[in-house]
Structure 1
Amino acid sequence: MEVNFQDSEEIVFALSFSDFPEDVQLCILSFLVPSELASFACTSKKFVSLCRDDQRLWFSMCDRRWGSCTLLKRWGHGKISYKELYRILSEYENLIGFWRQSGITNTVSVNSPPASLVYFEWGPFYITGSIISPSKNGSYEVIRSPFLWVSITSKGELVNYLDPDGRLDFTDDLLMDSETLGFLENELIQVNVSFMGKCHMVVEENLGSFGFGKVPSSGIVRGEDYQNVCGSPPDRLMSEIYQYLANRTSPSGNGVSRRLRRREKKKQERLRKWEPEHLVKIVNCSPTLARPLQGLWKGICEDMSLDFYLVSYDDIGGIACRKVGESSKPLSLLAPVFWSSSTKFIEPPLSPEEDHIYSNRMHPRPPAESYHSRDYLTCSDNGAVSHMLFINSSYDLVIPNLAGATTNPQQCEGRIWQYENGTFGFGFLRDNYIIDLKHIAKNGLLLDTIEPCND
């Protein structure tokens, strides 16, 4: 008997979520965030306990979000709940990426470089903050100096330790035993990471006082709480606390209370080992299709020194590039290296004049890439030029009419040449070289890293 499926009625089976196997349910729910999970739990009493306490579900949620970045079962010695781990990692996930130092650096140690550019990345069971600085050997290598570790104790308490001198050789075994790190008081500094919004944080020493007790065990201080850290009441002796409370309640005790707070604040300042560091996150640190020049780059200059550059697009359609790295000045005070009021690229083929401007300039290269012939200086190893863009030098941005009035335009006019591999180089008509830029990091990984030399 032949059956015509086109004429037959289509049979549809309606399945509810509870009809799916449990592993399928966990897989589907792992795509949700806690707020969505709470809404789902309200649909049935059966799912309340599943969404609230089920370790398998919360592990699936953690694994889907961070499983490829870190070893979840090693956080907190594997003794904390995955629901608590999800909350903690959600809080500190914002650390991952590049940050730049804001304001004049307060680095205590003369051995460690200024923290102008800091990179946070996932470790097996911790987050590492490293100072990123240019190498001094004339290559594209960058020095990665770990100085801050964020981990969790077996009780679920966050501990943030800072090594300002970079003298300790941290291994996974040492960091795993995070409870013993506090005994290395002469080598490590316990710090608080204070989030002042998502793009601003403060790293400051934990001096042990916070309101009427200790700093919260999480190590996280909110913006509204950060203002109350300094000048909080003493907590070393019960008599001091009683005296403090008496002065607070006594009508004539305000003056004594203020003197005690000032005295305690001065004492804490004398004991301080690390000055607070303000860091601002570099949000757009990678190129996009719409903004191909955006992000952090590194390039070798004519004197064979390596510099870091931050290229950003503004709201009026322009592009600005500033140096970052080991500069002692905050980024806001650095004049742009180059600036363009337009992002419109010129397509090839270039005119004979433009081709002459490009082909007659040298490309500084690391010594290891040098050849006996100087031909290596006259071309880029990043491929042919795919696009070209006009740029101006820094003072033309500050004083727009200066170049046309009193200065030779060639002293401020320049070009950007974008290469086939997506990188680019820039140069000015006053110079005879092109600085070819490469990525500092790609796909979340630092490139060409070397360890600092400890003398």
Structure 2
Amino acid sequence: MANSETLVPSFSDFPEDVQLCILSFLTPADVAAFACTSKRLVSLCRSDHKLWFSLCNRRWGSKTQIKKWASGKITFKRLYKFLSEHEGLIGFWRRSGHGRNDASSLPPLVFFEWGPTFITGSRVSPSRDGDYSVTKAPFLFLSVNSSGERVGFLDPECRLELSDDLVGIGELGLWENELVPINVSFMGHCHVVIEENRSCSNSPQRVSSYGNLRGEENGVESGSPPDRLMSEMYQYFANRTSPCGDRAWRRQRRREKERQGRRKWEPEHFVKIVNCSPTPSRPLQGLWKVGICYNMNLDFFLVTYDIIGGIACRRVGDSSKPFSGYAPVFWTSNTTFVEPPFSPEEQYIYDSRIHLHPPTSDNKVVSRILCINSSYDLVIADLPGSTVNPRQVEGRIWQYENGTFGFGFLRDNYIIDLKHIAKDGNLLDINAAL
């Protein structure tokens, strides 16, 4: 019997739609390397409406409307670059530092998510209705124009109604009355700075970012940063060496202070909250709605696992307030759960406590128990009533069958129940913004 050889089809033998499907799993660097393997495949790898659309659609097609970004006038290659650069924004962020934008009244928690043709940032705060709902107020929008340039603006009052065509808002002249053009600058993967874009062409009262006098007064047209810097240097020395130069220089500095006084938005720093959801190996991890707390108000808590296996729970609050950033509400270095059947003593500890405003629809069957400590009593020595009595600082976490949990301390007679704030990248229990 003659030996028969099995013919292995090459990549070029596949139909084009199959080729595009395979190539859509590659990165741009892989696509560039693959294009060098054959002259026949160069045209396919360069095809914007075929390959680059497939790359965008596979990665973000289920999250946003790929074909509608920049009113469909942007190339998918440029769109891919923009989306990949800003994908890290998606998720929860916490305001850091002491901002001057009325920080006392701004919620510290911000949530970025995909919109139809933009990325939106929303302030997230506990509802005032005495339940587990949260208030979501969109205030920041980020998109791209047909040239691949980023378009971002901020609505300090959270009054803007969402629209699919956010790029056209600037063309309508709405910058001047309601919106603040902004830049979102990444400082690593987990730190961003939101600052006013003073050089935006649609920004009112445009002036040189280097503090020059206005062009019509100087006779010098504002240009690129080096040009403006040289112009400012010339103007400075000319004023200093001319008659009445000191007076002119003081006028220039006064105008500079006035210009800074017209700033609509002071830079704000935000730090990303990573690991916002539980995992099988870390069932308590994530961002939770803690309610209703001691003062009967809803709060946001973050539970994290450290590198040595411990667990700490901290309140997500304004970092300008004392103990808001580093003092855990509870902590433990022993993450071993007590599995059922539970001892009569543990059963009594749970049964003798009441739930503070528990959600009536949730299942409260305890699946596991974990021992914790109250670090407020151990870490903050000056806290009134602080003690080192083990009975006073010892507590329990009761994990329920539905994945949520509650915690309490032996010195108290109640349980504080926690619920998920988000699931699958979406906020839960949303109320309309006030």
After TM superposition, is the score higher than 0.5? yes
Q: 1:324 and 1:246, CA in 2 relative to 1: closer, same or farther beyond 3 A? A: closer
Cα distance between partner residues in 1 of 2:174 and 2:330? 49
Matched ranges for 1:52-451 at <5 A: 52-108=46-102, 113-168=105-160, 170-172=161-163, 175=166, 177-180=168-171, 182-208=173-199, 231=210, 236=215, 239-240=219-220, 244-245=229-230, 248=233, 266-300=257-291, 301-325=293-317, 328-329=320-321, 333-365=325-357, 369=360, 381-395=362-376, 398=379, 407-451=388-432
Cα distance between partner residues in 2 of 1:255 and 1:330? 48
The one of 22, 43, 53 equivalent to 1:49 is: 43
Q: Is the 8 A contact 1:193 1:201 kept in 2?
A: yes
Cα distance between partner residues in 2 of 1:65 and 1:11? 39
CA shift for structure 1 position 436 = 1.1
Deviating more after overlay: 279-288 vs 326-335? 326-335
Q: TM-score, normalised by structure 2?
A: 0.85
Cα distance between partner residues in 1 of 2:323 and 2:35? 48
Residue matched to 1:223: none
RMSD of the TM alignment (CA)? 3.3
Cα distance between partner residues in 2 of 1:51 and 1:397? 62
Deviations 1:121-152 (A, max 9, x none): 11111111000000111111000010001122
The sequence identity of aligned pairs, in percent, is 58
CA shift for structure 1 position 344 = 1.3
The one-letter amino acid paired with 1:340 is T
3-state SS of paired residue (1:119): strand
CA shift for structure 1 position 27 = 0.6
Deviations 1:350-400 (A, max 9, x none): 21111111111111226x84xxxxxxxxxx933421111111112355279
CA shift for structure 1 position 290 = 1.3
CA shift for structure 1 position 409 = 2.1
Q: 1:230 and 1:279, CA in 2 relative to 1: closer, same or farther beyond 3 A? A: farther
The one-letter amino acid paired with 1:339 is W
Cα distance between partner residues in 2 of 1:107 and 1:150? 20
Residue matched to 2:244: none
Q: Is the 8 A contact 2:210 2:228 kept in 1?
A: no
Q: 1:208 and 1:97, CA in 2 relative to 1: closer, same or farther beyond 3 A? A: same
Deviations 1:278-315 (A, max 9, x none): 00011111111111111100021244311110001111
Residue matched to 2:6: 12
CA shift for structure 1 position 275 = 1.3
Cα distance between partner residues in 1 of 2:188 and 2:77? 24
Q: Is the 8 A contact 2:367 2:400 kept in 1?
A: yes
Q: Is the 8 A contact 1:143 1:451 kept in 2?
A: yes
Q: 1:344 and 1:265, CA in 2 relative to 1: closer, same or farther beyond 3 A? A: farther
CA shift for structure 1 position 243 = 8.2
CA shift for structure 1 position 451 = 1.1
Structure 2 unaligned regions, length at least 5: 203-207, 242-248
CA shift for structure 1 position 329 = 3.0
The one-letter amino acid paired with 1:16 is S
The one-letter amino acid paired with 2:337 is F
Q: Is the 8 A contact 1:105 1:114 kept in 2?
A: no
Deviations 1:191-246 (A, max 9, x none): 1001111110000111118xxxx89xxxxxxxxxxxxx974767745635578526
CA shift for structure 1 position 452 = 1.8
Q: Is the 8 A contact 1:321 1:337 kept in 2?
A: yes
Deviations 1:162-217 (A, max 9, x none): 1101233x1325636334354341211111001111110000111118xxxx89xx
Q: Is the 8 A contact 1:298 1:308 kept in 2?
A: yes
